Structure 1
Amino acid sequence: MNEQQIPAELRGSDRFERLVNSIRDYAIYLLDREGHVASWNAGAERFKGYTAQEIIGQQFSRFYTDDDRAAGLPARALQIAAAEGVFEAEGWRLRKDGTRFWTSVVIDPVRDDQGTLIGFAKVTRDITDKQEAQQALRESEQRFSLLVQGVKDYAIYMLDPNGFVTNWNRGAQAIKGYRADEIIGTHFSTFYTEEDRQSGEPTRALQVAIAQGKYEVEAWRVRKGGARFRAGVLIAPIVDCRGTLIGFAKITRDLTERWQAQQDVERAREAMAQAQKMEAVGRLTGGVAHDFNNLLTIIRSSADLLRVPTLSPEKRDRYVEAISETADRAAALTSQLLAFSRRQPLRPEVFDVSARVLEMRPLIETSVGSSIVIAIEPGEAAIVNADRNQFETALLNLVINARDAMPAGGTLTLASATVDGLPAVRGHGPASGRFVALRVSDNGSGIAPDTMKNIFEPFFTTKPMNKGTGLGLSQVHGFAKQSGGDVDVESQVGIGTAFTLYLPFAAGMQLVHAVSDIPKHAAVTRRILLVEDNEAVGQFARSLLEELGQIVTWVQSGEDALALLERAHEKIDLVFSDVIMPGINGLDLALRIRDRWPAMPVVLTTGYSDALAEQQDHGFPLLRKPYSVSGLTKFIT
C-alpha cells in the first residue's frame, strides 16, 4: 500500500500534520484497520529510524520482536484497542537497525462519524532510561534483600503502620525462633514480655519512634517458646516521599551473652568491694581496740591507784590528771574516726586561713622542734567557712607527718592561696568554683608509690609501734570532704612531700573571731530535765549536774520527757537531752519542745549522730561527749 492508497478519512489537514510532525519526543502515527502505517511524524522517525517514505504502507508488526510476533501480540493489541477503546502496554520494540528499545505504547481506535472503525492512532514513547533505572532499582532491592537475609547476628524486619510484621530475615529467625511463615502478619508485641505488654510498652515504642525519629532501648524480649533474652532494640519510622508513614524498620540484637558477662563482672566487683570492706573493718576494729585498750589501761590503773588509802595528795592529783588527759585523748580519737567517715557534726565559722596559720605558728614550732625551719607564705583573703577546730586538727596532723618525715631536720613550708577550680584529685574529676588551697610541704623522705594509695585509710601507718594511730590523714581527708573540699598529695622518695588542703572560698561572708573556751561566769542553779536512756551515763550526768548545784529530774526516754513537760513544764528551766535514743530521739524531742513550748531552752549532747551531721542548721546548742565540767557549765548557765 502506498500513500495514495491511504483512505481519505485518515488524511489530516496540512495544519494538523505540521503540528504532529513538530513533536519529536513521541512517535505519533496512524494505522489502517489491518495495521498498516498511514502517517509518520518526526518523533517516530527519530525513535525508530525509518523515514516516512520507507515505512508508510508497511505493517506495524515489524516494530515488534520475533517472539512478540510469534505470540500474535500485534494483532491482539489492535483487537483489544477496538474492543475496549484503548490498548496500553510497555515492552521491547525494534528500530530499523535491529536494536531494541523499551517503549510505552498507547493504541486508540479511530472511527468515522457513523462510528465505523477506520483505523488506529498509535502513540509510542522511548522509556529505555526509565526501564533501566527501574531494573537497576529492582536489582539493588534484590541485592539489599539478599544482604538483609544474609545477616544472622541481627533480626532485621519491617512492620506496617499498625505494628504487624511484613517481612523477616534469617537473623530474626535465628534470634527469635520463628520462621517467616509463622510470624509474618503477627503483631510485633508477640516478642514482648507479659509485663511490658500489660504496661503498653509496644504501643509506646511506636509512638516514641514517630515522635523522636527513633526508639532505642535495651530490655528483655521473648523467643518462641517463652525463653527470655536481653535485646538491644532499634525502631525507626519509614515514610514515603510525601512524608506519609508507611511502616517501621526494626532491628534487634541478642545481647544476652554481653549482659551476662557484665553481670559477672559486677558480681566480681561487688565481691571484691565486700572483701575490701571487710578487710578495712578488720583493720579499723583492730586499730580501735588497740588504741582504746591502751587508753583504758591508763584510766583503769589510775582509778585503782586512787583507792590506795595511803596515797599522797600529790599522787592523787597526778592520777586524776592522767584520767582527765586520757579521756581527752579518747575523745580526740573518736573525733578523728567520725571525721574520717564524714559523720562528724561540724560547727562552721568564717575565718581567714592565712591569719589562722600565722596565729598557730608558736604551736607549730613547738610541735616540730628546733631542727626544722618553718616558712609561712600567707595568701591574701583566704577566707573559708569551716569548722575552725577541725581545721586546726587537720593542719597539725599534716605538720606532725612532715616532722616525722624529716628526723634529721629540714624545711617545712606552709603556703596559702585562692585558686579557681578544684583540680582532679586522686582519680576524681575537677570541680568548678573558687577554693582556698593550703599547701604543707617538706623536703623529707617522701612517700613510696606503693604506700601512696593507702595513706588516707584509717589506722594505716608506716610509723613504729606507739608512734602514731594511723588516723591523722584520715581525719584530714574526712574533714576536707565533709567541708566541700578535698586533699591532694604529691611526693617523691628522697625529695619530699606536699599535701594541699582545698576548702571552698567563702566569698562575701563576715569573719568570725574565735571565742575563748573559758566560761565568763559561774553556773547558777537551774531546774534541769535530763533525758538519757543509758543507765550509767544518766546516773553520772545527774550526779555531775547536782555537784554543780543544779536541780535535776532524770527520765530515760523522749516520750517520758514530753509527758512530764505536759504536766509540769513551768517547773523546768532547761532540757538537757542525749540525741541517740530509741523511740523519739533527742533531735525530734527538741523540735517538738520548740513547737509546743518555744521559750523552753534545749541543749543536745551526743558522741555521734547521723541526724545532727546531716541537719547542722537545727538551731540547738550541741555539747559533744565526753564533756568536761567547764564545757557543761557553759551550756547550763
Structure 2
Amino acid sequence: MPREDSLTPRILVADDEPSIRELFREILAGDPEDGPDRRFDDLERRLFGAEGQGREDSRPCELTLVSQAVDAVAAVESAVSEGRPYAMVFLDVRMPPGPDGIWAAERIRAADPGVQIVVVTAFSELDAQDIARRVPPADRLLYLRKPFHPQEILQFARSLGAKWRAEREQSAFNERLKAMVEERTQDLALANRRLQEEMVQRDHTASLILVAKREWEATFDSVQDAIVHLDDAFRIRRINMAAARISRKHPRDLVGVPMESLFGTEGGQAVRDMLPQAVETGQAAEVSLPALGGVFLVTAARVPEDAAGQPLTVLVAHDITDHKRMETQLRHSQKMEALGTLAGGIAHDFNNILGIIMGFSELMAAQAEPGGSQQRRLGQILDACRRARDLVAQIMAFGKGGDSLMRPLALTPLVEELMKLIRASTPASIAIDVKRRARRDVILGERTQVEQVLVNLCGNASHAMGHGHGRLEICLDDMDLDQTESSRLGCPGPGPYLRLRVQDNGHGIPAGQLERIFDPFFTTKKPGEGTGMGLAVVHGVVRRHGGCISVSSEPGLGSVFDVYFPLVAESPALDAAPAPKAPSGRKGRALVVDDEPALVEIGVEMLRGLGWSAEGLEAPNAALARIEADPSCCDLLVTDLAMPGMSGLELARAATALRPGLAAVLVSGYGDSASPEELARAGVRAVINKPVSPGQLERVLEEVLGAPEEPRVRPEE
C-alpha cells in the first residue's frame, strides 16, 4: 500500500485576485487546529444554513497558491521533478499581466499528463471544444464558472481528491501486481530457460545416442568378421552384413530363426559344443562350418542383458579358410622341397652308379664280338641303364630343376612348335584347341624343362580322355595377380604372370586324390603305364621357375591345370666370354678328375679310345698340384662338378689361370651348374650331365674344341 503522506493530495490554485486565492485557502486549508473538515462544514452551514454531514474523506490536503500562469507551470514542473505531483490544478483563465490560464493548462498538461485541471472563468464566451482540443484528455479537464459557491470548490476537491487517491492506490496496486507478475514471470522465465536447457541437453544427448547408434551400426556392419547375436534358445537375434554376405541371405531373413539356418545342422552342433568353454575361457575355437563354406575361428562372449532385458551370446567368426589353405600349401611346399633335396642327392649317387655300369658296359660292348651273345646281353644292360637314366633325370628335374641356364623364353612359339609333337602323339578322336591370347609371353626359363611341363600335362590329359571323343584346350593368357590372388594360388608374390592352362573333359580326379597328385611316384595309372613322376616333375619345374600351379577337377567332367610363370621384359641372353680356341681335331693330353675311382677309370678309357693321351686323378687338390708343377701336362681337363674339398668349377678356374688355353669340361651328377658367366670366367667350355657315353663325350669335345663361343650343356643321351 502507498504511504499515508503519499496519499495526501496536493492542490495548486492560480488566480491573480488575492481574495479568490484567500477564499481557496480558507476552503481547502484553513486553520490547521480546526481541521479542514470542521471548517468546511461550518462554512457550509454559515453560507447555506444546512447541517453539515461531515466529509467522507477527512484526510488533509497540501495547498499551493500562485498569482500568475508562469508560476503555476513552474510549480507543476518542480513537483513532477520532485516526484510529488499535484492531484489537481485550479486555473483562472485571465491572469494579467502574464499569459492566460489556457496557456498554462497546455504546458501543465505537457509536464504532467495525469493531473486534473479545473478551468475557473467568469467569461462565457470561451470555446470549450477548443480548450478540450488544446488540453486533452477531456476526462481530466473540468470547468468552474465564477462566481462559484464554496461548496463547489469543496466538492471538486473531494471528488478529484478521491479520484486521485483511487488512482494512486490503483497505480500502487498495479505496480505491486506488475512486480508480482514480473517476479512470477522471471520465475517462469527461469524455469522455462532451465526447461529449454534441459530440452537442449536432452536433444543433444539424444543426438549423441543416435550418432553413437549409427556409428555402432556402421562398425557392426563394416567388420569383415561374421557377428551373430543369439538368445538362450539359440535363435538369431541379429547378424551383421559380413555374416549375411557369407550366408548369401538378407539379415532380416535370419532374425528370429534357429542358428542352424545360418550355420547348418553340422555347424550348429559344432557351435553348441564349443560355446560353454569359449564363453568361460574367452579363447577362440576353430570350427568347421560347411554351410558357410570354410573354417572359422569363433569367439563367444556373454551379454547379461540387452536393451529388451534379455541375455545374449555374441559370436564372432573369423574366416581362416584361406589361411588354412595357405598352411596346407606351405606344408606341401616344404614337403616337396624336402623330397626334392632328398631326390637330388639320391639322383647324384644313382648317376655315379649308372655311369660306372654304363661306362664299363659300353667299353665291354665295344670289345665284344659283334652279334654275339655277350654283346646282346650288354645291350640289354645298357637299355636298362638308359631307362634308369631317364627316371633319374625326372627325379633331378623334380628335385633340382635340371639345368640352371635360365634365359628369356617366349612361350607362344614354343607352344606352337610343341603342338606338332603333341598332335602326333594324341589320338585323332581328341580335338585340340590352342588359344593364344597373351600379349606378353616372355618368361625366364629353361626351354627343355618348360617343354617337359607342357608335354606332361597334355599327356596326362590325353590319358584321362582315353581313346573316346574328347577335347583338349591349351590357352596362354597374361595377367596381373594381386597379393590376395597370388597367396591363394601359392605364387611367390603379386605381379605380372603368364598363365598356361591345360583343360580336358576326361574322367576327372577324385577329391581325395587331389592333394597327392604332385607327390613323387603317386599315380592313378595302371602298373606299367606310368612312373608317378610326371606331375611331380611338373611341380618341381614350375617351382624352380618362380611360378605356381593350381588344379581344379570334378569327376566325370574333366580337369583344369593352370601354370603361372612370372613374366619378364624380353631381352637377349647374356653371352659368355669367348675362350681360347683349340686347334680343330686336335688330340692332345687330357686329365680326368673325379672322386669316384671307377668313373676316373672309365673316363680315361673313353678318352684314350678317342685318341687322347689321358691320365686320371681322384682328388682335385692333387690335380691342381699336378697342373701347377707342369702346366703343359694337359690340354683338356674333364672334371666332376661335386667333389669333396674343391668343386670342379673351382678346379677349372684355378687350372685355366695356371694354363691359359686349357679346355675345361664339367661333368655333373646333379643336373645343375653355375651361370653361363661363371662358367665362362672359369674357362669351362661345356657341361655334361651324368651318365656319360663315349659317343656323347666325343661330340661334345668336337663342338667345344671346334667352336668354343659359349659354354654348352649337354643332357644325357
TM-score tier by shorter-chain length is 0.3 to 0.5
Of structures 1 and 2, the one scoring higher in RCO (CA 8 A, sep 6+) is: 2
Normalising by structure 1, report the TM-score.
0.48
TM-score (norm 2): 0.43
Structure having the larger proportion of residues in helix = 2
Q: Which has the larger radius of gyration?
A: 2
